[in-house]
A and B are shown apart, each in its own frame.
Chain A
């Protein structure tokens, strides 16, 4: 599968995403510079983590105006697959390609740690290599990952299966202490109504090698790549 990894000024996990996709998973991946206006034939666009434009204003608030984002929006509107991790998720929300918003962690501080996530919907292009209820171990590292959306919208999202990942404990149970940032309904990842745009705060690209602490992130990338074959 051909992947395009967008590099905004201030992107940080762009190199890690390239490494995970190309070096570890053997996928075809290239960097898309934010000033470009075409996606170079990418079949899946990945918006990586980082602090685009420093995120001094509001996370993702400026990156959504980068030239490439017009092409990404058009690509998504045409049904193309788009995944945003961490800052990429924040940008997708700011660009209204995904519902909701991400605000400061409940603790008001940055959190870097491995968390457990339960797959809530395995019938999406991003999770088809998993089973509903599977528990994945992925790292998070963010200061603004508290997911919020209006109660009505949350209810509809749940009904439509748009909540894809939820923070849980190692046994797959939803508990207060297993929700690291205080997200509403412990939401860690959501899709749009068409299920072709997916955003998540955890970093699957940082969980593809056993030496670095785990390989559960591969399941996300395998789901996406597998669907294309």
Chain B
């Protein structure tokens, strides 16, 4: 790491930071932020950028390591403490309160008041000033946040961060929802702050932006800081290579047995604006098609739209080359399309209910029920026990509540529901998120078996290595468009990452 000898004490220095949840998220992270520096943090999805920022901003506590602010030990117990020390974060997820006005949101922690009565004029003036800084002068600060657009919300959020005095400002993907013009305005403000000595940590997936604004770039990979580069001493390809890394992990070699003669499932020019802009692809029997892309590239949204869970703007869907109409999930399931959701707890499981009920849910009508809709109890027990055995769900009995299983076993239970449903096409959104390695491999095996049995399988994943190991082809989404589809053997991680960035690059260049 290059050391600037003119400023012996950095503004912020972290050493040996570590944090793990089920598995290590950060290990031995060193980050140095100087006075008046814009320091960009880049890395793949799940590399640990957000966790690192949350620790610096006091939102989470590190397991090990120390932080120094201005040379003094800095150990914020919560967000409030960090703010008192002068460290502020503008969060990636919008944390505005929808039913309050823009002005109230901006100054929520210190509303100007006399005896509890808000001083409206003073508040409006202060808000106007703060909004001007982010180019939102035309926005009435009395507007409810709910009524403003997503880009405006993001700018309000940034304005809230800028309006408070601070020494370290963390911007976690501030430009994700901004137009190019807004981004430019934001950069002007960042440069102004920079001149007053504020240190800025800037996270972005838009590498061109990083190149433009950052004095230094640090690359995180799998929770480790792999490099820090000075402005002008790197090119984008190099950064992408550093982000992806070289080691090819635990590959499961799956012989490709794709049925090339038939197409099981085809999607044509699917759109659900503004997120899904143009997606066309096909899947064949015995094929596993992967979907790669950055956070916010519209992968989950695409799958939800295909499945009928969300409305679409346009696009056609074919099953066995016959056009089908899917307007709700029930239609999709009737056609033999299953959907393993990314959030098993919120969208998949009946947590306080036994495994039995969770497994048989999608097939009560046609399999478990006898005439008149009466459930055949013994049949249900038999089915549930069979699937628990087949998928090696570790549980005390089929009457155990789903809430009391580990993440991996919960995922197996939801998967069992779909395997039992016997779909022709199974869409799996992040099938291995948050589960341990052992369960991961079991799920890979199950998906491989499913494909081998003649089904078409679609896997959306943020874990590129997982896709590389599992898939016959990988489709890459970038900013809502399907940009490239790679065949096994054609792909490299660099190529896939470049494809994932491609639409973002275009947007920056054309403007």
A joins B in a complex? no
Q: Taking beta carbons and an 8 Å cutoff, which residues of A are in contact with B? A: none
